């Protein structure tokens, strides 16, 4: 005996389609932690910084010239903010502590926030338009660095 395929009516197809959409949209889109939370390019579009929702403590730097992964920066805490300098390949990011993390030319370094700002924890970083000054703020306070 040969099995013949069962044909769905239009109503059954619509219901099946809605069930599939509901099933997968919940898993893929309603659940946090399954995508990219940030993609930023440098000043001339040759590099991308990519932050994943799943691994929010890892910053991926991708070279668009070679289409290769240039660097992977693994932090102890989740990355809160990323900002590329508008004039060069310097990327600054923060994790909500008293340090700024700087990535430039395949090298990374750490800069402590000055001691006179004991109340400032870097949650957000942003370069000014000229690229010679960096604004750092936490949930209540801010400072120019």
What separation, in Å, do the N-terminal and C-terminal C-alpha atoms of the chain show?
79
Lowest mean pLDDT segment, chosen from 3-12, 30-39, 40-49, 80-89 = 3-12
| Each residue's pLDDT tens digit, 95-105 | 999 999 999 98
pLDDT at position 121 is 87
Q: Are 20 and 12 in contact (CB under 8 A)?
A: no
Q: Average pLDDT for residues 53-73, to the nearest whole number?
A: 94
36-144: CATH number:
2.130.10.10
The reported pLDDT for the residue numbered 5 is 43
pLDDT exceeds 50 at position 42: yes
Q: pTM here? A: 0.72
From residue 92, how far is each of 16, 22, 26, 35, 111 by CA, in Å? Answer: 48, 39, 34, 22, 10
What is the structure's pLDDT at 114? Answer: 78
The per-residue pLDDT of the chain, averaged, comes to 80
pLDDT score for 105: 83
Q: How confident is the model at residue 115 (pLDDT cuts 50, 70, 90)?
A: confident
Instruction: Look at the block and give the residue holding tokens 């069962």.
Output: 6
Q: pLDDT grade, residue 10 (50/70/90)?
A: very low
Q: Which of 115, 113, 116 is nearest to 137 (CA)?
A: 113
| Per-residue confidence (pLDDT) for residue 80, from 0 to 100 | 95
Domain layout of the chain by residue ranges: 36-144
């Amino acid at each position: 005996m040969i099995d013949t395929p069962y044909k769905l009516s239009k109503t059954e197809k619509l219901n099946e389609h809605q069930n599939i959409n509901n099933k997968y949209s919940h898993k893929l889109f309603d659940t946090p932690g399954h995508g990219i939370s940030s993609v930023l390019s440098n000043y001339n579009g040759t590099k991308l910084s990519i932050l994943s929702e799943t691994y929010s403590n890892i910053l991926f730097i991708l070279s668009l010239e070679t289409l290769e992964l240039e660097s992977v920066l693994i932090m102890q805490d989740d990355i809160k903010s990323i900002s590329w300098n508008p004039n060069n390949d310097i990327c600054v990011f923060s994790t909500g502590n008293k340090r700024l993390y700087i990535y430039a030319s395949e090298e990374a370094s750490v800069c402590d926030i000055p001691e006179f700002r004991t109340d400032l924890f870097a949650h957000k970083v942003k370069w000014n338009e000229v690229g010679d000054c960096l604004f750092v703020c936490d949930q209540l306070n801010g400072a120019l660095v």
